[in-house]
Amino acid sequence: MEGLEVTVLIGLTILVGALLAPRIRLALPLVLVIFGLALGFVPQLREIQLPPETVLLLFLPVMLFWESLTTSLRSIRRDFRYILPMSTLLVVASAFAVAGIGVLFGMPWEIALILGAAVAPPDATAVAALGRLLPRRMFMKLKAESLTNDGTALVLYAIAVSLALGGNVTPWSVTLSVLISYVGGVAAGIVVAALGYLLLRRTSRTVVINVTLLLIPFTSFLLAEIVHASGVLSVVVAGLIVAYVSPRVTTASSRRQADAAWPFGVFLLNGALFVLIGLEVQFVVHEISGAAIGRLVLITLAVWVTLLIVRYVFQLLNALFQRQPGARQARGSRSRARAVSTVAGMRGAVSLAIALSVPAASATGGELAGRDQIVFVTAGVILLSLLVQAPLLPAIVRWARFPVDHAEDEEYELAERTISGAALAALDDLAAEHGVGQEIRDKVRAEGYQMLEFSNARALAREQAIVDAEARALDEMLDEPDPLGAGTGGGRVVTGAGESDSPSGMNAAVADGDTLLDGDEGMEGEVKTLQMIATSPDIDVMQRSPLVRHDEHTRLKLALIDRKREVLLGLRRSGRVDDLVVRRISARLDLEQVRLQGIEEFD
């Protein structure tokens, strides 16, 4: 089929899947894989091949970069003792365990090790697509593990291919390969991120900023490949650095554009990938003889079960690295958490890319024995991950009975209070600095107090809802009604800082919430009307122009937004607020700034 026909077909498949998945209550990736399998029954569609360089050089850089941008650095630092062994030692253990299974089923050792390297790493994109119902901390740990384990798998893959092609592999060469892969990948990511930072500091144009961000993952991957390092690790490192420095070197308009474009692009690439996985399974099934398919199905099932067992057992052995000093957790809850983490470790794009990258020719010029088997088993493991683990994961999470985690909501409210309080405290100084009159100053202050009261009430309502839910659960457990009745909260909001004579009886001592935007006072037609009315003899011609008042109001609100951002980034540096909370609040501040200034101001 022609490229345009393939593009339209895949696009229509993604569209139908997106419409159908919510109706049948299945995860979209699972629906798309099933559609890919169904399309594979058409011989012409089955010929659509997925070149390995397409996955490695087009799909992975974009998807991994976006996942890195939306990963919490604080979570990585906090759980590093868990992430490091899971992204290195577990990958090695899984690869060799799978290789052992392959040898038991008659596969050559080198081919079995290539298979092990391909299926060993859980995939970040599959985790992101299917694992968001996990508790926040577990999801971030699994996501960070998936982002960093690909480097280990690719090193193992290179060693196994060298052995299969008759290369000379020594302990020194293995050590050198590991060092080059990791150190070179990290260095390449740092270099490209630093160059991007220097460029971004010198421009404020939305188009230039976002083109630079788009080039960073591809450039870092290319640089790592040139020095024979891990391109995947390079992209991840560059993404983590860019995520940290982005608020200071990008504009509100560019961030709003990027936050809309990147998720959409990643959604399309993910959808296309899952459709193509289904087509690839159909292709390899029709390429292999019927007599061999039964054996390969058994190998696929054995490999899939082995990966689950190894992951669970490794977490048992890794428990010493996971425990925090002074932390206590019931044995049953730890076992349930390990079971959820085991089921959530799904395979995806990286595994398929590694399998398709197996060279088709050996050193003697013939086809590398076992390549079709590797692709078949790898695709089968990915399929089992999506068809079995993905539907099973919600039930496993419910069975685990994780306590509701309100940490993110609490940090969000803390950040809102802090930045709003800092903005109100600096309001008079900022107004004087920008030449804002008392009328506008009082108006903005009243807006700030109004939002403080709203945010305090919202926080109190959330806490009261938690108390009410616990009371209802206790009543159901005791099978008797609550004699006092469920409280609904109420009363005035107590902030713990004493009373205040601020407008509407609001408390200014504790900052909470954010300021609201005014209406579009500055529309050109309305301004002209107001100016014409001001010339009437019935109007005081000495009153200040609406244009001047609107300009002062905009300047003061923008200055307050800048102040809030400074305080918010300070909270992130101190570790009091998570990166993802900062991202949520920053997005809202950006939206407010764009509404005040207009997108054209940035371009």
DSSP category for residue 300: H
Residue 497 has pLDDT above 50, yes or no: no
Element (H, E) at 562: helix 546-574
Task: With cut-offs at 50, 70 and 90, classify the pLDDT of residue 15.
Answer: very high
In angstroms, the CA 91 to CA 122 distance is 9
By three-state DSSP, how is residue 492 classified? Answer: coil
Task: Tell whether 390 and 425 lie within a shared domain.
Answer: no
**Which of 299-313, 479-493, 495-509 is the least confident region?**
495-509
Average pLDDT over residues 21-35: 87
Q: Report residue 108: phi and psi, to 5°.
A: -60, 150
* Res 323: pLDDT: 59
- Specify the higher pLDDT residue, 244 or 435: 244
What are 339-368's pLDDT values in tens digits? 888 988 888 878 888 888 887 655 444 456
Which residue type occupies 133?
L
User: Is pLDDT at 519 greater than 50 in this prediction?
Assistant: no
> Coil, strand, or helix at residue 134?
coil
Under the banding of pLDDT at 50, 70 and 90, the label for residue 534 is very low
Type of residue numbered 120: A
pLDDT tens-digit map of 439-465: 787 888 887 776 766 667 777 777 777
Say yes or no: 376 and 441 in one domain.
Answer: no
Residues 329 and 435 placed together within one structural domain of the fold: no
The pLDDT tens digits for 122-134 are: 887 667 666 667 7
Examine the fold and report which residue of 400, 415, 441 is the final residue of a domain before the chain moves on. 400
Helices (H) and strands (E) in the chain, counts: 28, 0
pLDDT at position 234, please? 93
Do 90 and 120 sit in the same domain of this protein?
yes
Indicate whether 33 and 139 sit together in one domain: yes
Is residue 599 predicted with pLDDT exceeding 70?
A: no
- Find the radius of gyration of the CA atoms of the chain: 29
More confident position, 465 or 300: 300
* Residue 366: CATH number of its domain: 1.20.1530.20
Write out the DSSP string of 335-398: HHHHHHHHHH----HHHHHHHHTS-SB-TTSSBPTTHHHHHHHHHHHHHHIIIIIHHHHHHHHH
pLDDT band for position 602 (50/70/90)?
A: very low
Q: What is the mean pLDDT of the chain?
A: 80
Q: What is the pLDDT of residue 113?
A: 92
Model confidence at 50, pLDDT cuts 50, 70, 90, reads low
- The reported pLDDT for the residue numbered 198 is 94
pLDDT of 197 reads 95
Of 113 and 494, the structure prediction assigns the larger pLDDT to 113
For 162, residues 6+ apart whose C-beta sits below 8 A from its C-beta are 169
Domain boundary among 400, 420, 439: 400
Q: Same domain, yes or no, for 202 and 246?
A: yes
Please report the pLDDT score of residue 320 as a whole number: 65
Question: Which of 52-56, 306-310, 423-427 bottoms out in mean pLDDT, i.e. has the lowest?
Answer: 52-56
486 pLDDT higher than 80: no
Could you say which of 346, 371, 400 is where a domain stops?
A: 400
Region 291-301: what's the mean pLDDT?
A: 89
500 vs 226: which has the higher pLDDT:
226
Query: Do residues 118 and 52 both lie within one domain?
Result: yes
Same domain membership, residue 447 and residue 311: no
Question: Taking Cα atoms as reference points, which of 171, 170, 169 lies closest to residue 161?
Answer: 169
Residue 259 token pair: 């936050």
pLDDT of amino acid 476: 74
- Better-predicted residue by pLDDT, 601 or 19: 19
Total domains in the fold of the chain:
2
Looking from the CA of 531 toward its CB, the CA atoms found within 13 Å total 11
**Is the pLDDT confidence value at 259 over 80?**
yes
Our CA angle for 246, 252, 258, nearest 5°, is 70
Provide the domain limits for residue 121.
3-400
Q: Is 417 found in the same domain as 313? A: no
List b or e across 71-94, with b for residues whose CB sees 16 or more CB atoms inside 10 angstroms: bbbbbbebbeebbebbbbebbbbb
Q: CA dist 522 to 293, 437, 589, Å?
A: 71, 18, 20
- pLDDT for 241 beyond 90: yes
β-bridge mates for residue 361, sequence order: 367
Q: Would you tell me how many other CB atoms lie within 10 Å of the CB of residue 573?
A: 10
Q: Are the C-beta atoms of residues 442 and 598 closer than 8 Å to each other?
A: no
**In this structure, are 356 and 440 located in the same domain?**
no
pLDDT of residue 235: 93
Q: Which tens digit of pLDDT belongs to each residue from 402-422?
A: 887 778 888 888 888 888 888
Q: Is the predicted pLDDT of residue 570 greater than 50, yes or no?
A: yes
Encode 223-253: b = buried (16+ Cβ within 10 Å), e = exposed: bbbebebbbbbbbbbbbbbbbbebbebbbbb
Q: What is the pLDDT of residues 141-195, one digit of tens each?
A: 888 888 888 888 888 888 888 888 777 777 788 888 888 888 999 999 999 999 9
pLDDT at residue 511 in the model: 39
Clarify whether residues 288 and 386 are in a common domain: yes
Whether 348 and 372 share a structural domain: yes
For 446-571, list the strands marked E by DSSP.
Answer: none
